[in-house]
A and B are shown apart, each in its own frame.
Chain A
Amino acid sequence: MEAAVHMETHRDKKGKMHPKQFALMLMIIGMVMLFAGLTSAFIVRKAEGNWFNFELPAQFVASTVAVVVSSATMILAFYHAKRDNIKITQISLAVTFLAGLSFVLFQYEGFMDLAGRGIYFSPDNGSEGGMVSGSFIIALVALHLLHLVGGLVFVAIVFIKSLLLKVHKKNTLSISMCNTYWHFVGILWMYLYLFLYFAPQL
Chain B
Amino acid sequence: MSNDHGHHKETFISKYIFSMDHKMISKQFLITGIIMGVIGVAMSILFRLQLAWPDSSFPILEWLFGEKWAPEGRLDSGFYMGLVTIHGTIMVFYVLTAGLSGTFSNLLIPLQVGARDMASPFMNMLSYWFFFLSSVVLMSSMFVETGPASGGWTVYPPLSALEKAMPGSGLGMTLWLTAIILFIVSALLGGINYIATVLNMRTKGMSMNRLPLTIWAFLLTAILGLLSFPVLLGGGLLLMFDRLAGTSFYLSDIFLGGGVGALEQTGGSPILFQHLFWFLGHPEVYIIIMPALGITSEVIAVNARKPIFGYTAMIISLMGISVLSFLVWGHHMFITGMNPLLGTVFLIMTLIIAVPSAVKTFNYLATLWRGSIRFTNGMMFAIGLVSLFITGGLTGLFLGNAALDITLHDTYFVVAHFHLVMGSSAIMGMMAGIYHWYPRMFGRMMNKTLGYIHFWLTFVSAYLVFFPMHFQGLAGVPRRYYSFNILPEFAPWLDVNVFITLAAILGGVAQIIFLYNFFSSIFVGEKSVQNPWEANTLEWTAPVEHIHGNWEGEIPTVYRWPYDYSRPDADSDFIPQNVPDTGSSEEVYVSPTKPDTSDAKEVEEKDNVMLFALIKNWFGLGRA
Q: Chain B contacts of A17 at CB under 8 A?
A: 200
Kindly specify which of B65-73, B222-230, B590-598 makes contact with the partner chain.
B222-230
Kindly specify which of B262-270, B290-298, B512-520 makes contact with the partner chain.
B262-270
| B188:A30 contact, CB within 8 angstroms | yes
Is B199 close to A, CB under 8 A? yes
Of the listed residues B123, B196, B199, B234, the one surrounded by the most CB atoms of chain A closer than 10 A to its CB is: B234
| B192:A122 contact, CB within 8 angstroms | no
Q: Chain A contacts of B276 at CB under 8 A?
A: 37, 41
| B266:A129 contact, CB within 8 angstroms | yes
Chain A residues 35-64 with CB under 8 Å of chain B are 35-38, 40-41, 44-45, 48, 50
Query: Which of A19, A31, A50, A122 makes the CB contact (< 8 A) with B119?
Result: A19
| A131:B267 contact, CB within 8 angstroms | yes
Query: Which of B195, B199, B228, B267 makes the CB contact (< 8 A) with A132?
Result: B267
Chain A residues 1-54 with CB under 8 Å of chain B are 16-17, 19-20, 22-23, 26-27, 29-31, 33-38, 40-41, 44-45, 48, 50
Is B361 close to A, CB under 8 A? no
| A23:B123 contact, CB within 8 angstroms | yes
Q: How many residues of A contact B (CB 8 A)?
A: 38
Is A116 close to B, CB under 8 A? no
Query: Which of A19, A37, A130 makes the CB contact (< 8 A) with B267?
Result: A130
Given A30-B229, A125-B264, A139-B241, is A41 in contact with B234 using a C-beta cutoff of 8 Å? yes
Is B356 close to A, CB under 8 A? no
Query: Which of A34, A122, A126, A130 makes the CB contact (< 8 A) with B247?
Result: A122
Is B279 close to A, CB under 8 A? yes
| B267:A29 contact, CB within 8 angstroms | no
Q: Name the CB-closest residue of B to A32.
A: B230
Q: Name the CB-closest residue of B to A33.
A: B230
Is B609 close to A, CB under 8 A? no
Q: Chain B contacts of A126 at CB under 8 A?
A: 264
CB distance from B299 to the nearest CB of A (A): 29
Is A154 close to B, CB under 8 A? no
Query: Which of B120, B199, B227, B264 makes the CB contact (< 8 A) with A29?
Result: B227
| A37:B231 contact, CB within 8 angstroms | yes
Is B527 close to A, CB under 8 A? no
| B196:A122 contact, CB within 8 angstroms | no
| A123:B267 contact, CB within 8 angstroms | yes
Given A30-B226, A129-B252, A132-B248, is A22 in contact with B267 using a C-beta cutoff of 8 Å? no
Q: Chain A contacts of B228 at CB under 8 A?
A: 33
Q: Chain B contacts of A50 at CB under 8 A?
A: 267
Query: Complex: how many Å from CA A121 to CA B238?
Result: 11
Of the listed residues A16, A36, A41, the one surrounded by the most CB atoms of chain B closer than 10 A to its CB is: A41
Query: Which of A16, A121, A128, A143 makes the CB contact (< 8 A) with B245?
Result: A121
Query: Which of B193, B200, B233, B264 makes the CB contact (< 8 A) with A34?
Result: B233
Is B272 close to A, CB under 8 A? yes
The DSSP consensus for interface residues of chain B is helix
Chain B positions 246 through 284: 1 when the CB is less than 8 Å from some CB of chain A, otherwise 0: 111100100000000000101111001001100100000
| A37:B247 contact, CB within 8 angstroms | no
CB distance from B552 to the nearest CB of A (A): 24
Query: Complex: how many Å from CA A130 to CA B267?
Result: 6
Q: Chain A contacts of B233 at CB under 8 A?
A: 34
Chain B residues 177-215 with CB under 8 Å of chain A are 188, 191-193, 195-196, 199-201
The DSSP consensus for interface residues of chain A is helix
| A19:B120 contact, CB within 8 angstroms | yes
Is A135 close to B, CB under 8 A? yes
| B272:A45 contact, CB within 8 angstroms | yes
Q: Chain B contacts of A36 at CB under 8 A?
A: 231
Query: Complex: how many Å from CA A139 to CA B240?
Result: 12
Is A136 close to B, CB under 8 A? yes
Given A41-B238, A44-B275, A123-B267, is A135 in contact with B249 using a C-beta cutoff of 8 Å? yes
| A37:B249 contact, CB within 8 angstroms | no
Q: Chain B contacts of A16 at CB under 8 A?
A: 200
Query: Complex: how many Å from CA A30 to CA B164?
Result: 34
Q: Chain B contacts of A34 at CB under 8 A?
A: 230-231, 233-234
Q: Chain A contacts of B272 at CB under 8 A?
A: 41, 44-45
Query: Which of B195, B237, B238 makes the CB contact (< 8 A) with A26?
Result: B195
Query: Complex: how many Å from CA A135 to CA B242?
Result: 10
Q: Chain A contacts of B237 at CB under 8 A?
A: 139, 143
| A19:B196 contact, CB within 8 angstroms | yes
CB distance from B153 to the nearest CB of A (A): 20
Is B167 close to A, CB under 8 A? no
| A19:B192 contact, CB within 8 angstroms | no
Query: Complex: how many Å from CA A19 to CA B115?
Result: 13
Q: Chain A contacts of B230 at CB under 8 A?
A: 30-31, 33-34, 37
| A48:B269 contact, CB within 8 angstroms | yes
Chain A positions 87 through 121: 1 when the CB is less than 8 Å from some CB of chain B, otherwise 0: 00000000000000000000000000000000001
| A27:B249 contact, CB within 8 angstroms | no
Q: Chain A contacts of B234 at CB under 8 A?
A: 34-35, 37-38, 41
CB distance from A14 to the nearest CB of B (A): 10
CB distance from A178 to the nearest CB of B (A): 18
Chain B residues 419-438 with CB under 8 Å of chain A are none
Query: Complex: how many Å from CA A118 to CA B252?
Result: 20
Is B114 close to A, CB under 8 A? no
Is B235 close to A, CB under 8 A? yes
Query: Complex: how many Å from CA A22 to CA B119?
Result: 10
CB distance from A10 to the nearest CB of B (A): 13
| A122:B246 contact, CB within 8 angstroms | yes
Q: Chain B contacts of A20 at CB under 8 A?
A: 120
CB distance from A82 to the nearest CB of B (A): 23
Chain B residues 105-130 with CB under 8 Å of chain A are 119-120, 123
Query: Complex: how many Å from CA A128 to CA B231?
Result: 28
| B227:A128 contact, CB within 8 angstroms | no
Query: Complex: how many Å from CA A55 to CA B119?
Result: 46
Q: Chain A contacts of B193 at CB under 8 A?
A: 23
Q: Chain A contacts of B264 at CB under 8 A?
A: 125-126
Q: Chain B contacts of A37 at CB under 8 A?
A: 230-231, 234-235, 276, 279
Q: Chain A contacts of B199 at CB under 8 A?
A: 22
Query: Which of B1, B119, B269 makes the CB contact (< 8 A) with A45?
Result: B269
CB distance from A192 to the nearest CB of B (A): 14
Query: Complex: how many Å from CA A20 to CA B191?
Result: 14
CB distance from B254 to the nearest CB of A (A): 12
Q: Which 5 A-B pairs have the closest CB atoms?
A: A129-B267, A37-B231, A122-B246, A132-B267, A34-B230
Residues of B at under 8 Å CB distance from A? 1, 119-120, 123, 188, 191-193, 195-196, 199-201, 226-231, 233-235, 237-238, 241, 245-249, 252, 264, 266-269, 272, 275-276, 279
Q: A19-B196, A26-B226 are in contact. List 11 more A-B contacts (CB 8 A).
A: A19-B201, A22-B119, A30-B188, A30-B230, A37-B279, A121-B241, A122-B241, A123-B248, A135-B241, A135-B247, A135-B249
Residues of A at under 8 Å CB distance from B? 16-17, 19-20, 22-23, 26-27, 29-31, 33-38, 40-41, 44-45, 48, 50, 121-123, 125-132, 135-136, 139, 143
26 A-B Cβ contacts within 8 A?
A19-B120, A20-B120, A22-B199, A23-B192, A23-B196, A26-B196, A27-B188, A30-B188, A30-B192, A30-B230, A37-B231, A41-B234, A44-B269, A45-B249, A45-B272, A50-B267, A121-B241, A122-B241, A122-B245, A123-B248, A129-B267, A132-B247, A135-B241, A135-B248, A135-B249, A139-B247
